[in-house]
Structures are given as C-alpha cells and as structure tokens.
Amino acid sequence: MLEYYNYIKSLHLIFVITWFAGLFYIPRLFIYQIEAFQKPLPDKKILGDQLKLMAKRLWFIITWPSAILATLFAVWLLVLMPGWLEQPWMHVKLGFVILLIAYHLKCHYIYKQLQKDIIKWSSGKMRMWNEGSTIILFSVIFLVIVRDAVNWIYGVIGILVLAISLMMGIKLYKKIRDKNPNA
C-alpha cells in the first residue's frame, strides 16, 4: 500500500487547497451579502438572491466535498504512516485541524443564517473573521515543513505578528474605503 503513498498525499494536498479556497472565499461572499442587505430595493433583493446562490454553490459543490475528501485522504495517510501519530508536530497539526474544522462549522452556521436573511455580523467583523483561515493555513504549513526544528517561541511570535499585521491591514483598508467608497 505504501506504493500509493505519493498519490494519496497528492490527493490530500489538492483537496486541502480547494477546501481552503472555499474557506477563503465564503466569508467574502458573506461580506457582500451583509453589505447587499443594507442596500435599498430592488438592489437588495437582486444582489441578495445572486449572492445566496453563489454561496450555496461554493459551499456545497466545492468547500464541503473538499473538506470531506481532504480529511479522508489524511486519515488514509495516517493509516499508512502510523508513526506520525507519535510525533509532537503531528499533535500540534491535528490541533490546528480541529481548529480548522471548528472554523468551517462556524462558517456553516453563518451561511445558514445569511441564507435566511439573518444578519448578526457587521461587514467589518466578517472581514476580521475572514482572516482566521489564513492564520490556520500559515500555522499548518510552517509546522509541516519545519516539523521538529520548530522553535515554539518564534513560531508563536510569528503567528501573532501575522495576525496583528492582517488586522492592521483590514483597519487601514476600512479607513481608505470610508474615504473612498468605490475603493
């Protein structure tokens, strides 16, 4: 079965990439839905209906299937390489995977609310939420590539710097956007 390892790993990575693509884009659609909800009729209805359809297609045709397939191929890899479960970096990676699944499920909850025109988030807060998957992706990629050579202090500092930089970028964009609504 080890002769199939590289194929299974390739499929795992492909579906991780498409899963993240969905998780990167779905909050953008949420932002647009939230902003469309504030527009006057008929724009509100036309935009709202189109954005709901786009979100539904992204969520159920790309994001959910990719999440399931990425997870199935990951489990298959762990069956082929059970020694990985003894590695400390894998424990941390699986912690991030659990965090990613929680993020995914929260996005599903938000998706269901927005499909019913229940708006509980501002577009600004949703922009912040949108960066959650980015932080998880950076964490997992660095962890998997560097593995045992990870210096935990620098890793934590790096993720904090990334998170702060992303939040500052969002706030700067908001200031620019407030001055020029067409930006």
Residue 12 marked as a ligand binder: yes
Cα angle 44, 50, 53; round to 5: 135
What is the domain extent for residue 162? 2-179
Residue type, 129: W
Task: Return mean pLDDT, the chain.
Answer: 90
Return the SS3 of 34. helix
Q: What is the mean pLDDT of residues 128-152?
A: 81
Res. 151 pLDDT band, cuts 50 70 90: low
Count of the separate structural domains present in the chain: 1
pLDDT of residue 87: 87
Token digits of residue 22: 């969905």
Report which of residues 14 and 144 the model is more confident about.
14
pLDDT for position 175? 85
Model pLDDT for residues 37-74, shown as the tens digit of each residue: 999 999 999 999 999 999 999 999 999 999 999 999 99
Contacts of 5 (CB under 8 A, 6+ apart): 77, 80, 81
